[in-house]
Amino acid sequence: MMALGSFRARSFVLALTVLGGPGDTPRVTLQAPTQRLRLTINPATLRVGETARLTVDFLDSQFQPVANDRNRTIDFAQLPSGTGQAGSGTFSPSRVTVPRGAQSSATATFRAGSPGKVLIRATAPDLAPAQTLVVIVPHGSSWMDPSAHPTFRIAAYQQDITVEINPHEPTVVPANGVSRAQLWVTLNRRLNPDEELQIRVKSVPGVGVQVLYDGIRQGNVTDLTIGAGLALSKEVDILSTRPATVRVIAWVLPNGPSDEVRVQFERPRPARVMFEGGQDSIPLRQQEVPLAVELADQDHVPVGDLQSTWRIRLSSPTDPDVTTFTPETLVLSPGRPVGRSVLHLKGAPAANDIRLLAVDLGETLGFVERTIIVAGSIEPPAYLFVLFAGLGGVLGGLARDFYRRQVSLILPNWSSGYLHLGLLGNVPFSFLFGYVLFQAAALGLLLGYQHAPAIASTRPFAFFFGVLGGVGGIAVLDRLLDRIFPRRTGERPRPSGGASGRPSQGD
Residue extents of the structural domains in the chain: 34-140, 153-267, 270-375, 382-484
Q: Of residues 69 and 445, which shows the higher confidence score?
A: 69
Same fold, 153-267 and 270-375: yes
Over residues 13-38, the mean pLDDT reads 51
Q: Give phi and psi for 395, each to the nearest 5.
A: -65, -40
Over residues 433-455, the mean pLDDT reads 62
Q: What is the mean pLDDT of the chain?
A: 77
CA distances from 66 to 60, 71, 100, 125 (A): 6, 14, 11, 17
CA-to-CA distance for 205 and 181, rounded, in angstroms?
Answer: 15
Q: Is the pLDDT of residue 448 over 70?
A: no
Contact 131, 108 (CB under 8 A): no
Over residues 142-149, the mean pLDDT reads 38
CA-to-CA distance for 230 and 46, rounded, in angstroms?
Answer: 9
Residues in contact with 107: Cβ distance below 8 Å, sequence separation at least 6, in sequence order: 93, 96
Give me the architecture of the 34-140 domain, per CATH.
Sandwich (2.60)
Q: Is the pLDDT of residue 85 over 90?
A: no
Give the SS3 label for residue 357: strand
pLDDT of residue 6: 40
CA-to-CA distance for 502 and 88, rounded, in angstroms?
Answer: 99
Over residues 198-206, the mean pLDDT reads 91
Count CB-CB contacts under 10 A for residue 6.
Answer: 18
Residues in contact with 109: Cβ distance below 8 Å, sequence separation at least 6, in sequence order: 51, 52, 53, 54, 91, 92
pLDDT of residue 440: 73
pLDDT band at 10 (very low <50, low <70, confident <90, very high): very low
Give the SS3 label for residue 224: strand
Q: Of residues 45 and 486, which shows the higher confidence score?
A: 45
Over residues 162-186, the mean pLDDT reads 89
CA-to-CA distance for 290 and 372, rounded, in angstroms?
Answer: 12
Contact 264, 171 (CB under 8 A): yes
Q: Is the pLDDT of residue 425 over 60?
A: yes
Q: Is the pLDDT of residue 377 over 60?
A: no
DSSP strand pairing (329-332 vs 353-360):
unpaired
pLDDT of residue 107: 76
Over pLDDT 90: what percentage of the chain? 31
Q: Of residues 493 and 345, which shows the higher confidence score?
A: 345
Helix crossing, 382-403 with 459-484: angle to 10°?
50
Q: Of residues 111 and 63, which shows the higher confidence score?
A: 111
pLDDT band at 13 (very low <50, low <70, confident <90, very high): very low
Strand pairing partners for 52?
A: 110
Over residues 197-220, the mean pLDDT reads 88
pLDDT of residue 369: 81
| 69-83, 206-220, 232-246: range with highest mean pLDDT | 232-246
Give the SS3 label for residue 479: helix
Q: What is the CATH code of the structural domain delimited by 270-375?
A: 2.60.40.3450
Instruction: Kindly report the CATH class assigned to 153-267.
Output: mainly beta
Over pLDDT 70: what percentage of the chain? 70
pLDDT band at 346 (very low <50, low <70, confident <90, very high): confident
Q: Of residues 53 and 426, which shows the higher confidence score?
A: 53
What is the residue-wise DSSP string for 63-122? S-B---SS-EEEEEEEE--SSS-B-EEEEESSEEEE-TT-SEEEEEEEEEEESEEEEEEE
CA-to-CA distance for 427 and 421, rounded, in angstroms?
Answer: 9
pLDDT of residue 3: 40
* pTM summary value: 0.62
